[in-house]
Amino acid sequence: MQTLILADNQRRAPCSPTLTRGRHFDRAIIALCVRWYITDKLSYRDSVELMAGRGVEVSHTTILRWVCHHVPEFEKRWNRYARPVGASWRVDGTYIRVRGRRTYLYRAVDRQGLTVDLLPSVHRDTAAAKRFFHRAIERHGTPETITLDGYPATHAAVAELKQIGVLRPQAKVGTSKYLNNLIEQDHRRVKQRIYPTLGFKGFRNAAVTISGIEFVQQIKKGRFDIPKSVDAREARTPQLWEAVLAV
């Protein structure tokens, strides 16, 4: 039988029953493990040790499956309280390791530093850049200004998207090292959290995990409006998650 030792403010189940229906473990354990993993600099084995200290025996592969399964739903529920991103995008990329190989991660933020979207890709080419922009535009609409790095394939992708009408012809596109410092500095938030993982086993795992890390950073940046049911002056992180996931 599972024995869960939690602080008083974590004892009530932090998510609705339907969110974890059919799972072997209590939903409070699942939500806590997922939140710990995407919030703190932990490996899956670190999470196993933390849960063992609370009387819960769980394997690292189980926590991995929880993260892959529940992060998209957690994001969906948090996004109900998200403010829209701006129309001025800074687009850049960084490198991550997937299956032991160095692969590319497209990212974009607005002028306030809020994450627009991300996309891991095997290749850094025009096709990959177009996929990234299609995905971002479907979610957030077309930007008015796009600031790129100097990589030619990304500029070619934007030019093609303008020609076919995905991007507006009047959208301003340029390169500015000064303006792109914002996203280059923001890469560190993701890279510092990814480092303990020592790379990913697959692209789906990478995409879901990084997406979860990104939306936790958005919580810290204040992108989400606190639910009316929570007093913002007294709210603590577990209470916020409980209020959001219970909806």
Q: What is the pLDDT of residue 227?
A: 62
Give dist(CA 180, CA 186) in Å, integer.
10
Which DSSP symbol is given to 79?
A: G
Q: Give yes or no for residue 9 having a pLDDT over 50.
A: no
Q: List pLDDT tens digits, range 62-99.
A: 999 999 889 998 888 888 888 899 999 999 988 888 88
Percent of the chain with pLDDT over 70: 83
Mean pLDDT across 147-165: 94
Under CATH, what is the fold of the domain 88-201? Nucleotidyltransferase; domain 5 (3.30.420)
Confidence of residue 163 (pLDDT cuts 50, 70, 90): very high
Work out the average pLDDT over 2-21.
44
What's the confidence (pLDDT) of residue 18?
Answer: 54
Scanning the structure block, which residue is given the tokens 């609409």? 141
The three-state secondary structure class of 128 is helix
Instruction: Please enumerate in sequence order all residues whose Cβ is within 8 A of that of 183, keeping only pairs 6 or more positions apart, or say none.
Output: 90, 91, 92, 107, 108, 109
> Do 61 and 37 contact (CB within 8 A), yes or no?
no
Residues sharing a CB contact under 8 Å with residue 223, sequence separation 6 or more, in sequence order: 82, 83, 114
Task: Give dist(CA 62, CA 186) in Å, integer.
Answer: 30
Of 231 and 188, the one with more pLDDT: 188
The 10s digit of each residue's pLDDT in 27-72 is 888 888 998 888 888 888 899 999 999 888 999 999 999 998 899 9
> Which ranges in the chain belong to alpha helices (H)?
27-39, 44-52, 60-78, 126-140, 152-163, 177-194, 203-221, 237-245
DSSP line for 223-242: -BPPPTTS-TTT--HHHHHH
Query: Which range, of 15-19, 43-47, 184-188, averages the lowest pLDDT?
Result: 15-19
pTM of the shown model:
0.79
Chain region(s) in the chain for CATH 3.30.420.10: 88-201
CB atoms within 10 A of CB 69: 14
Tally Cβ neighbours within 10 Å of residue 214: 22
Banded model confidence at residue 7, pLDDT cuts 50, 70, 90? very low
Please list the residues that pair with 106 across neighbouring strands. 93, 119
Tens digit of each residue's pLDDT (9 = 90 or more) over 116-135: 999 999 889 999 999 999 99
